[in-house]
Amino acid sequence: MKRILLVISCGIFVFNMNAQVYTDYIGAGHDLDIIVTSSTANTATDAANTVSGSGMDADLMEASRFMYQATLGVDRAEVMAVADYPGGYAAWIDDQILLPASSMEASVTTAWNEALQARIDGGADPDDVFGPYALHFHYGWWQNAMTNSDHLRHKIAYAMSQILVVSMQSDLRDRGVEVGHFYDIFVDNAFGNYKDMLSEVSLHVAMGYYLSHLNNPRTDLSNNIHPDENYAREILQLFSIGLYKLNNDGSRQLDTNGNPIPTYNNAEIKELAKVFTGLGAGALNANVTWTTTPYFGLDIWGIDMTVPMQMYETWHEQGPKTIIDGYTIPAGQTGMEDVQDAIDHIFEHPNVGPFVARRLIQRLVKSNPTPAYIARVADAFNDNGQGVRGDMSAVTKAILLDEEARDCSYLEDPTNGRLREPLMRYTHLATALPTDSPLGRYWNNGYGFLDAAKQMVLQSPSVFNFYLPDHQPVGNIASNGLVAPEFKLHNTASSIGMMNEVNAWAVWDNLMYSWEGDYGDVPVTLATEDIEATADEVEDIINEYDILFTHGQLTDQTRNTLRDALNPLVWGDYQFDRTRLGLYLLLISPDYAIIK
C-alpha cells in the first residue's frame, strides 16, 4: 500500500508542476482543514479520521534516498529530521556547508596515539610498534564516518578522492597520518573552489610521490634525462579536461569528419611536464638528522609530507613552454609561477565544468545523467551566479537539487540509477542502524572487506580509480549504450565476497573490528533491539527496512521473498532471527543493490 501511495504522490507532482505543490496528503487537511471521516453501524462509536495522512511514509522514503546521495549514511532520526527540515533540502545543504570540517589527519593521529599507548600498556616495546600506516588511516576514516556531523562535506570529500586519486596500494601505505593530511584537501575544499583543490593536490608530496613529479628534474640531454610526464598527463586526462573536447553538456565535439577532437597531443604533454620540474621536499621530518635543510632528491622517508613541495629553481626547466590550446607560459618566471600559470590555464578550459559535473553526478546520483543534467551542473561550475568559477558548493547544490536527482518521474526511467558501490553499502548499514561500541571507537581494519569486496577508501589499484567513468559491463547495459562504473568491481568473486560480508554484519553480528583486540579494543556490533521489539509483525520489519535502505522502492517480489523467509520463524529467539535474516536478505537483494 505504501509503495502505491508513493507512486500516486509522485504522479500528482508530475501532472501539477505548474500548480501549487502540496507536501501533505489526501485527507490530511491542506489549508482548508478537509478531513475524511466515516462511522459504523455501531451507535457506540464516533466518526474517526480514516484518511488523515498519518502513517504515510513517502516523505521519509524520499528523505532517506536524498540522505543516501548526500552522506556516507545516517540513522532514522536524521532521516526524519531532514524530511521535516525547515526550508527543505536546500536549507539542509546550506547548513551543512556552514559546519566546521572534521579533520581526517587529526582523526588518524588520535587513533594512532591511542593504539600505540594501548600496545605499550600491554607490554609492547614502542620501537617495535609500526605506524601510523594505512591501518590507522582506516581507523581514523571510519571513526569520522561514524561520528561526524558534517555529513555532506565528507560525502563530497570521498567522491573527490575517487577523481583526484592517490592510493595506498603503494609505499604511501606506510604514511597513514600524511595520507590523512592529503585527504583533508578534499575535506577542506569540499565547498571551496576546484582550482584551489587542484593546486593543493598538485603540490602535495603524496601526489608528487604517487604520480612521480616529486624530484622531477629538468632536461639534461647529455645524460639522457627528460622530465617525467606522468603527472602532466594525468592532471589533464583524469583531473580536469579528459581526452576529448566537450560541449557544455558533456557530449564530445566533432571535427568535419565526425571524429572526436583530442584536447591535447604528446608534444603538449612534454611541454607541460617541463612545468612540473624542480619540485621537492618542503620540510624535513624527524627521520632526518644529518641536515637541517630540505633538499631536492630527498624521498618520502625523510620528508614532512604535511608541508607542500617547494620549488628548487636549479632543477626547474627554464624557458617558455607551450601547453594545451597553444597557450605559452612565458620565459623568465619562477618555477612556482610556471606551475600556477599552468593550473590557472587548465582550470579555465571549457571542458572542466562538464568533466567535473559528470563525474560527481556519477558518484552521488546516477551513472547516466542526461546531457541536460550535465549542462545544468556545468553551468553552476562555470558561474555560481556571482561570477565565480569552480565554486564546489554551487556544484553540489546543483547536483543534489536537480530534477533528475529529485523528481519521482525519473524513478521509472530505465536509464536511471546506479549500482551501489561496496564501501557505501557498508557505511550505509553501519550508520542507518544503532550500533554497540562500548569504547566509542569505530576502528575498522578494512583489509578483510577490501579483500572480499575489492574496495576501501584510498585503496584503488591505480590512478584510474576502482572503475572508469565509461565502464560498460557486457550485456544489456553496453548494448543500450549505457555505462555502469561500479560493475567493474562486481564479478563472481566479489559478489560472493560481498554477500559473505553482509552475512557477517547482519547474522553473525560482526560489524567491524580492529587489530587491537589483544590490547583492549572490542568489536562493533549492531544493536537491533528496537526492530526486534516489532518483529511479531513481519510487515513492520519489511516496512522499516524499506524506509532505511530501499527508499520506498522495495518490489512485491522481494517483499514476498522476505515474507516467505521470515514468517516461518516462530520458535526460540525468533524476533532476533527475523530481524537479522530480513536484514541480510534485503541487503543482498537487487532492490537494494541498485539505487534509482
149 pLDDT tier (thresholds 50, 70, 90): very high
Q: Is residue 286 part of a domain?
A: no
pLDDT value at 46 more than 80: no
The pLDDT value given to residue 14: 33
Quote the DSSP letter at residue 225. B
* Residue range 478-507: mean pLDDT, rounded: 97
User: What's the average model confidence in pLDDT over 132-136?
Assistant: 98
Query: Same structural domain for residues 68 and 85?
Result: yes
Residue 517 lies in a domain: yes
Asked whether residue 219 is domain-assigned, the answer is: no
Q: Is residue 68 part of a domain?
A: yes
How does residue 204 score in pLDDT terms, banded at 50, 70 and 90? very high
CB 276 within 8 A of CB 364: no
The candidate with the shortest Cα–Cα distance to 567, out of 544, 559, 553, is 559
In a domain, 563, yes or no: yes
Q: Which residues of 242-275 are buried (b: 16+ CB within 10 A; e: fewer)?
A: bebbbbbbbeeeeeeeeeeeebbeeebbbbbbbb
pLDDT cut 90: percent of the chain above it = 89
Q: Above 70 in pLDDT, residue 531? A: yes
Instruction: pLDDT band for 218, please (50, 70, 90 cuts).
Output: very high
Q: In angstroms, rounded to a whole number, what is the distance separating the alpha carbons of residues 581 and 584? A: 5
Q: Please tell me whether residues 487 and 513 are part of one structural domain.
A: yes
Residue 294: cis peptide before it, omega within 30 degrees of 0 = no
CB 492 within 8 A of CB 201: no
Quick one: average pLDDT of 334-363?
98
Q: Which domain holds residue 68?
A: 64-97
One domain for residues 499 and 457: yes
Q: Do 344 and 243 meet the contact criterion of CB atoms below 8 Å apart?
A: no
Asked if 476 and 510 sit in the same domain, the reply is: yes
Give yes or no: residues 2 and 92 share one domain.
Answer: no
Q: Do 363 and 405 meet the contact criterion of CB atoms below 8 Å apart?
A: no
Write the DSSP assignment of 141-173 as a string of letters.
HHHHHHH-S-HHHHHHHHHHHTTS---SSSGGG
Q: Are residues 448 and 528 in the same domain?
A: yes
pLDDT at site 49 = 52
Longest dimension (CA), the chain: 106
Quick one: pLDDT band at residue 463, thresholds 50, 70, 90? very high
Report the pLDDT averaged over residues 117-126: 95
- The pTM score is 0.91
- Spatial separation of the C-alpha atoms in residues 451 and 485, rounded to whole Å: 19
The answer on 92 and 7 residing in a single domain is no
Q: What is the pLDDT of residues 277-319, one digit of tens each?
A: 999 999 999 999 999 999 999 999 999 999 999 999 999 999 9
**What total of structural domains would you count in the chain?**
3
pLDDT at 468 over 90: yes
Confidence (pLDDT) at 18? 38
Element containing residue 525 per DSSP (H, E): strand 525-526
Side chain identity, residue 344: D
Is the predicted pLDDT of residue 517 greater than 80, yes or no? Answer: yes
CA angle 368, 167, 504 (to 5 degrees): 75
What whole-number distance in Å separates Cα of residue 99 and Cα of residue 81? 17
Q: Which long-range contacts (CB under 8 A, 24 or more apart) does 92-97 make?
A: 93/152, 93/396, 93/397, 93/400, 93/401, 96/150, 96/151, 96/152, 96/153, 97/152, 97/153, 97/191, 97/393
Backbone torsions φ then ψ of 220, nearest 5 degrees: -140, 90
Helix-helix angle 492-506:574-587, to 10 degrees: 150
- pLDDT > 60? residue 24: no
Q: How confident is residue 408, by pLDDT bands cut at 50, 70 and 90? A: confident
In terms of domains, do 423 and 493 share one? yes
Residue 12: pLDDT band (50, 70, 90) is very low
pLDDT of residue 235: 98
Q: Examine the domain organization and report whether 497 and 580 are in the same domain.
A: yes
50 vs 147 pLDDT, higher one = 147
The pLDDT value given to residue 44: 56
pLDDT tens readout for residues 534-568: 999 999 999 999 999 999 999 999 999 999 999 99
User: 407-421, 517-531, 535-549: which range is least confident on average?
Assistant: 407-421
Residue 571, strand partner residues: none
Residue 412 has a pLDDT of: 87
pLDDT-derived band of residue 2, with 50, 70 and 90 as boundaries? very low
pLDDT of residue 389: 98
Ordered DSSP codes for 51-104: E-STT--HHHHHHHHHHHHHSS---HHHHHHHHT-TTHHHHHHHHHHHSPPPPH
DSSP E strands: which ranges in 235-290?
279-280
In three-state secondary structure terms, 134 is helix
Q: pLDDT band at residue 409, thresholds of 50, 70 and 90?
A: confident
Do 428 and 497 have their domain in common? Answer: yes
Q: Are strands 36-38 and 48-51 parallel, antiparallel or unpaired?
A: antiparallel
Q: Give the pLDDT mean for 465-491.
A: 96
Asked whether residue 498 falls in the same domain as residue 575, the answer is: yes
Q: Is residue 116 assigned to a domain? A: no
Q: Within a domain: residue 490?
A: yes
Residue 260 lies in a domain: no
Is residue 506 over pLDDT 70? yes
What percent of the chain has pLDDT above 70? 91
Q: pLDDT for 48-68, tens place per residue?
A: 555 545 556 899 999 999 999
| Helical packing angle, 574-587 and 422-432, nearest 10° | 150
Task: Please provide the average confidence, as pLDDT, over all residues in the chain.
Answer: 92
pLDDT at residue 9 above 50? no
Cβ contact 467:488 at 8 Å: yes
pLDDT surpassing 70 at residue 41: no
